[in-house]
Amino acid sequence: MMWKYNCGTSKLEAIKSKQHPTFESPESYKDFDFSIEPEQSFYSLLVQEAKTIREKYPKVRLWYSGGCDSSLILDVFTKNNIHLDEIHLAKSGIKEADFEFDNFALPYLNKLELTNTKIVIHEPTIKDYYKFYENKNWVEDFAKVHPQNFQYHFRLHYINEVNNLYSDNFINIRGKEKPNVMYINGKYYTYFLDGDIEDQPLQVNFYIDNPTISSKQSHMLKNAMIKSSNYDRNECTGRYMFGTNFPTKNLHMNNKDGYIIHNNTKIHYSNIKEKIALEVMSKEHSKLIELWQNGLQPLYEYKNWFNQNKPECGTIGIFSKFYCLDTKDSKTVDELFPNGFKV
């Protein structure tokens, strides 16, 4: 994996053993000069990346959600006649929460008529949910497969059928990730959080593994921030170059009012799809909510590691290095924020 922890274990194991791991960027980032904006257009860099992937790997698979990140990748490949062997969609199996797939992804794929590309839809059943959550060790078992970002939300995307696809001879393209840019002590820096990337073996994070693409979109975001405080992160990083018909994703990671009431208990959620899934399943399969919550209970021993001290809100992010966009330099979060990180 290109993005990794320095501790050699999963994030969950590091938390349990009271380690404080750092999040390491790919080797290619170390000597790259992020202070110089690449001259090529963002689109030309994406086309070249797609061609490089196609030439390097015998079989190419795109994981497509219908959101603006994976849709732009799909458009880059199809509009330039760069073949995708397979396109996979990982639904949650909860229809009301799968609106992004049903209302955006699938209609668009049907419109493209990709007759030479295999389209595969993964959709867990209620039986799959019970099988997963009735395993009392589901948290630990999941962390072994996904060392960077173990399962914490209720919806299932990475069931065994999907996990096994990361051990075949395909390269898997994911739409990771838009950069974070921050103005600190008179300079602009770009950085990433571990939870934004979810790196896996045989995976390409299309927008960030290549530091040239990462730098280009970071400068695009920086330039937008300089022009106005009212900017659209998707728009200024080129995600809307072929249209804006994408679902709105309202995040609630740090919203203390983002919760439902189940059996007189507050259960928090991190986005609108999780909210919908919890509301539906609380009414139709209340036992599953209880099994999921029971599996999270041991994590309360380490609650300081979780957003809002709630395991269902996910772990607090671990920072990569901060790469300066004004001078050739990089710093750790502790060097930039000796008294603790703040926005």
The pLDDT tens digits for 41-84 are 999 999 999 999 999 999 999 999 999 999 999 999 999 999 99
Is 287 within the bounds of a domain?
yes
pLDDT, position 93: 95
Q: Are 322 and 23 in contact (CB under 8 A)?
A: no
120 in the same domain as 27: yes
Residue 111 makes CB contacts below 8 A (sequence gap 6+) with none
Is 343 within the bounds of a domain?
no
Whether residue 250 is predicted with pLDDT greater than 60 in this model: the reply is: no
pLDDT top residue among 262 and 163 = 262
284 in the same domain as 147: no
184 in the same domain as 276: no
**Full-model pTM:** 0.93
Query: 330-331 and 4-5 as β-strands: parallel, antiparallel, unpaired?
Result: unpaired
Chain centroid offset of residue 257 CA: 23
Binned at pLDDT 50, 70 and 90, residue 249 comes out as: low
**Distances, alpha carbon 110 to alpha carbons 26, 99, 248, 318, in Å:** 36, 16, 22, 39
Phi, psi values for residue 237, rounded to 5°? -105, 20
Is 253 within the bounds of a domain?
no
> Domain of 277?
259-313
Q: What is the mean pLDDT of residues 90-116?
A: 94
pLDDT top residue among 169 and 39 = 39
Domains: count for the chain:
2
115 in the same domain as 152: yes
Whether residue 252 is predicted with pLDDT greater than 50 in this model: the reply is: no
Which residues pair with residue 205 across a beta bridge? Answer: 174
226 in the same domain as 287: no
Phi, psi values for residue 148, rounded to 5°? -85, -35
Whether residue 253 is predicted with pLDDT greater than 50 in this model: the reply is: no
227 in the same domain as 157: yes
Q: What is the mean pLDDT of residues 91-120?
A: 95
Q: What percent of the chain has pLDDT over 70?
A: 92
278 in the same domain as 189: no
327 in the same domain as 304: no
Q: What is the pLDDT of residues 275-295, one digit of tens each?
A: 999 999 999 999 999 999 999
Binned at pLDDT 50, 70 and 90, residue 256 comes out as: low
Whether residue 185 is predicted with pLDDT greater than 90 in this model: the reply is: yes
Is 220 within the bounds of a domain?
yes
Cα torsion at 148, 152, 157, 163 (round to 10°)?
A: 40
Is 191 within the bounds of a domain?
yes
Is 295 within the bounds of a domain?
yes
Is 107 within the bounds of a domain?
yes
What's the CA gap between 67 and 210, in Å, rounded? 21
Q: Whose CA is closest to 332, among 24, 27, 29?
A: 24
Q: Whose CA is closest to 76, among 239, 245, 248?
A: 239
201 in the same domain as 92: yes
Q: What is the mean pLDDT of residues 12-30?
A: 88
Half-sphere exposure of 22 (CA within 13 A, CB side): 11
321 in the same domain as 284: no
144 in the same domain as 100: yes
Q: What percent of the chain has pLDDT over 90?
A: 72
What's the CA gap between 16 and 232, in Å, rounded? 38
286 in the same domain as 186: no
Binned at pLDDT 50, 70 and 90, residue 160 comes out as: low
Is 149 within the bounds of a domain?
yes
3-state SS, one letter per residue, for 283-323: HHCHHHHHHHHHHHHHHHHHHHHEHHHCHHHCECCCECCEE
pLDDT, position 149: 62
Q: What is the pLDDT of residues 318-343, one digit of tens each?
A: 999 999 999 999 999 999 999 988 77
pLDDT, position 11: 83
